[in-house]
Amino acid sequence: MKICMIGTGYVGLVVGACFAEMGHQVICVDNNPAKITSLQNGQVPIYEPGLEQLVERNVQDGRLSFSLDLAQSVASSQFIFIAVGTPPAEDGSADLTYVMNAVQQIGASIHAYAIVITKSTVPIGSAERIRGVIQEELMKRGLSELDFDIVSNPEFLREGAAVEDFLHPNRIVVGTDNSRALEYMEKLYLPLTSQGHPLVHMDIASAELAKYASNAMLATRISFMNEIAGICESVGADIEWVRRGMEFDHRIGSYFLSAGVGYGGSCFPKDVRAIIQSATERNVPTHILEAVDKVNHKQKKKLYEMVVSHFGEDLSRLKLAVWGLSFKPETDDIREAPSIETIELLRQRGVNIQAHDPVALQNAYQALGEENIKYFTNPYEALMDADALLLFTEWKQYRFADLGRIKSLLKQPILFDGRNLFDPEMMKEEGFVYQSIGR
């Protein structure tokens, strides 16, 4: 099968490389010349476990290539995937400028039956808009009779586990309004469905909403647990035990119940706000979703509030060490990361920051610059003479850190732990002033 993947961000690159791995012929297109050149030279611009090897192997085997030429790539493909960014607009809705730009070019380039598939998370109703734009372009070219189908095939991959998630999906959601497109999609995914991964077929609007609803549900679980963590603190309970008391109930399950410094990343915050916006436009109330978003905003300030309540209002002479800048482990992504927002707040109060992250230093440097912040490639060097350590991301190396060494390097043994990595009793015995979430 011949596939054109428009957009080589996280989703486009991972999905493109994985389709090639499944045996399809894939051409990935982007309008960024530097990105395409570096990909053609085998350099993958993002940190994603397993991706570089996958790209290298499939390029070598001739199944995966990269191009700047959208028109030609589209014209030579049967399946055209749209995986360009949908950044949030000012009102929280998804900005479809890049999507619609790609769609227009698709309409201007196809000359035989093609399936146009949305992989980007697009607002409900986008498929119909896309259909309209393609029809308009075809009409301009005198090709209004040319047949094409629109499919919604949302992606559920997690950063840090994206390749694994794509090749071993819990489900493949396919939204179509006709059986021809469904048959094509079934053939495309046969290498996965034949291994028992289910393909769930539904109408287009439901598929579009299924993506938002899934992310919003997971975000809801997190905000719910963060709210319960607040109650734990006030009644002297421990959220980790409360969680354990819940997760063995099969109806609840154990995933996405960890309290912490709030959710970040490119999906949850953006998608929760986008679904609220979508509903509000249609006069549908969104009490739960608004609360999820509100709780998360508050939670992201949790470590900042711990610092203020411990050190008082004057923070100007403080030096604080920060471990973990990415929004979660196994990624260099710092989008909407609680660490970045907290560092901004602390710097405004005159705090000096000494930061470490195993892979996100470069991205953090681009976002935060050099004012009142130093970056360290060794986590222990970041602790030197700091008044306290703030921990934002549960990287494995932090979980197994040398507590004695932390204690000896900090000016005072104070640890504000946003991911509950350590046992409070043990930390007390080790001589730490230790504060975590919901305990």
Residues within window 177-216 making contact with ligand UDX, judged by CB under 6 A: 215
Q: Which of 122, 181, 257, 315 binds ligand UDX (CB under 6 A)?
A: 257
Per the CB < 8 A criterion, the answer to whether 327 and 337 are in contact is yes
If we measure between CA atoms, which residue out of 270, 325, 309 comes closest to residue 120? 270
Residue 10 CB, nearest distance to ligand UDX (Å)?
A: 8
Residue 48 CB, nearest distance to ligand UDX (Å)?
A: 10
Q: Which of 66, 81, 263, 432 binds ligand UDX (CB under 6 A)?
A: 263
The answer to whether 56 is annotated as binding is no
Q: Which of 268, 323, 375, 376 binds ligand UDX (CB under 6 A)?
A: 268
Q: Which of 137, 159, 293, 387 binds ligand UDX (CB under 6 A)?
A: 159
What is the distance between the alpha carbons of residues 75 and 72, in angstroms, rounded to a whole number? 5
Residue 384 CB, nearest distance to ligand UDX (Å)?
A: 27
Span near ligand UDX by CB under 6 A; candidates 50-58, 77-85, 86-94, 260-268: 260-268
The tokens for 278 are 């979508």
Identity (one letter) of the amino acid at 199?
L
The answer to whether 417 is annotated as binding is no
Task: Identify whether 267 is a catalytic site residue.
Answer: yes
Comparing CB distances to ligand UDX, the nearer of 157 and 325 is 157
Q: Considering the rule CB under 6 A, would residue 47 count as an interface residue with ligand UDX?
A: no
Q: Which of 18, 28, 232, 267 is catalytic?
A: 267
50 torsion bin: left (phi>0), alpha (psi -120 to 50), beta (else): left
Q: Which of 258, 339, 363, 436 binds ligand UDX (CB under 6 A)?
A: 258
Per the CB < 8 A criterion, the answer to whether 405 and 380 are in contact is yes
Residue 15 CB, nearest distance to ligand UDX (Å)?
A: 11
The answer to whether 383 is annotated as binding is no
For every residue of 211-266, DSSP letters joined together read: HHHHHHHHHHHHHHHHHHHHHHHHHT--HHHHHHHHHTSTTT-STT---SS---SS
**Would you say how long the chain is, in residues?**
439
Secondary structure letter of residue 383 according to DSSP: G
Comparing CB distances to ligand UDX, the nearer of 256 and 365 is 256
Q: Considering the rule CB under 6 A, would residue 19 count as an interface residue with ligand UDX?
A: no
Comparing CB distances to ligand UDX, the nearer of 109 and 220 is 220
The answer to whether 220 is annotated as binding is no
The tokens for 351 are 């705090």
The answer to whether 300 is annotated as binding is no
Q: Considering the rule CB under 6 A, would residue 153 count as an interface residue with ligand UDX?
A: no
The three-state secondary structure class of 413 is coil
Residue 319 CB, nearest distance to ligand UDX (Å)?
A: 26
Q: What angle do CA 298, 426, 262 make, to 5 degrees?
A: 15
For the chain, the 3-state helix, strand and coil shares in percent, each to the nearest 5, are 45, 15, 40
What is the distance between the alpha carbons of residues 289 and 402, in angstroms, rounded to a whole number? 40
Comparing CB distances to ligand UDX, the nearer of 107 and 269 is 269
Q: How many CB atoms lie within 10 A of CB 321?
A: 29
If we measure between CA atoms, which residue out of 181, 180, 199 comes closest to residue 189? 199
The answer to whether 280 is annotated as binding is no
Per the CB < 8 A criterion, the answer to whether 72 and 59 are in contact is no
Give the containing element (helix H, strand E) for 106.
helix 97-107
Environment class of 346 (CB within 10 Å of its CB; exposed 0-12, middle 13-18, buried 19+):
buried
What is the distance between the alpha carbons of residues 154 and 163, in angstroms, rounded to a whole number? 15
Strand partners, 391: 323, 417
Number of residues near ligand UDX (by CB under 6 A): 19
Strand partners, 25: 2
Per the CB < 8 A criterion, the answer to whether 422 and 348 are in contact is no
Q: Would you give the binding string for ligand UDX spanning residues 320-339, x where CB under 6 A is met?
A: -------xx-----------
Q: Which of 260, 324, 418, 438 binds ligand UDX (CB under 6 A)?
A: 260
Span near ligand UDX by CB under 6 A; candidates 122-130, 255-263, 378-386, 404-412: 255-263
Catalytic residues: 267
Residue ranges for the binding site for NAD(+)? 30, 35, 86, 121, 159, 270, 335
Q: Which residues bind ligand UDX (CB under 6 A)?
A: 155-159, 215, 218, 222, 256-258, 260, 263-265, 267-268, 327-328
Binding site, annotated residues = 30, 35, 86, 121, 156-159, 211, 256-260, 264, 270, 328, 335
